[in-house]
Amino acid sequence: MTAQLSFDASALGTWTDEKRFDVTRERLAAYAEATNDPIPAHRAGDVASPVFAIVPVFESLMEPALDVVPLSLIGKIVHGEQDFQFHRPIRPGDTLVAKGTMTGWRGRPNGTAACVYLTTHTTAGELVNEQYVTFFVRGFDTGDTVGEQAPEHAFDEALRGQAPVAKVVQHVDDDQTFRYGPAAGDPMPIHLDEQVAKDAGLPGIIAHGLCTMAFTSWAALTELADSDVTRLRRLAVRFAKPVLPGQDLTTEFWRADTAGRYAYETTTDDAVVIKDGLAEFA
């Protein structure tokens, strides 16, 4: 840690203003189409696919970091982990209220992991979902651990001694990012502009991490839960490597226990792109 740059612990626990979001059937159907989700209820907009939960909180994602992380380090932030905890699905006609706060950080030699906790309620106060978003500040080690971190969901390596219970291969379309960006309300140029992506040190346009996660969500639902999103209680991943349009994803699931928990991992071209995946079902 340097004398010039440090995280501001006094801003931990400060909540953003509430953001309202009106859920429409058209918006739910558009998100399902943009993530190649084959589940009929999702395609019809009858109920949200799981990762759609990021859309109502999108405006609240980065705001807590602005009060804690020095402005000069904001450009070094990448999305490291995502953990959804579902209390009930999102449905058309819902008016949702989202807010977020940063809860803590953990310094590492290659960077610092910082956790933002977000909640989504209905206007009547019903809790719809909770989310833990771990941002990673590349190349800056605070040298300490402060506050609360996201819950653990590490892959148990002992599971590799047993056969996966399911394996799903999916294709990321060449135009996937151009469909996903508008559907998710995510205009980040590294997903839409080849030159911007290369200037950022990437091989070219990369898929949105949450789009990749959405692919794994419907793989989990179709293979493990009879395509019933109401059974999903938790979905958590660590983003390990970018996915490029045109690549194939291979996701393997292992039964972690007898209580509806499955560990999973996603690869492409023999590289792991999603690690420490966890899906929990009622």
The pLDDT of residue 5: 87
Per-residue pLDDT averaged across 29-56, rounded? 98
Higher pLDDT, 200 or 147: 147
The predicted-structure confidence for 65-80, as pLDDT tens digits, reads as follows 999 999 999 989 999 9
Higher pLDDT, 52 or 201: 52
The pLDDT of residue 3: 45
pTM: 0.96
Candidates 227, 236, 239, 228; CA nearest to 256 is 236
The predicted-structure confidence for 228-240, as pLDDT tens digits, reads as follows 999 999 999 999 9
Per-residue pLDDT averaged across 225-254, rounded? 98
CB 15 within 8 A of CB 100: yes
The predicted-structure confidence for 118-142, as pLDDT tens digits, reads as follows 999 999 999 999 999 999 999 999 9
CB 72 within 8 A of CB 113: no
pLDDT at residue 1 is higher than 50 = no
Per-residue pLDDT averaged across 218-226, rounded? 98
For the domain made up of 9-281, the CATH class stated in words is alpha beta
The pLDDT of residue 71: 93
Domain spans of the chain? 9-281
Sign of CA dihedral 104, 105, 106, 107: negative
The pLDDT of residue 200: 86
Q: Which residues contact 128 (CB under 8 A, 6 or more apart)?
A: 53, 86, 87, 88, 90, 94, 96, 120, 121, 122
Per-residue pLDDT averaged across 139-157, rounded? 97
Average pLDDT, the chain: 96
Q: How many other C-beta atoms can be found within 10 angstroms of the C-beta atom of residue 246? A: 12
pLDDT at residue 4 is higher than 80 = no
Per-residue pLDDT averaged across 22-33, rounded? 98
Percentage of residues of the chain with pLDDT beyond 70: 99
Cross-strand pairs, 120: 98, 129
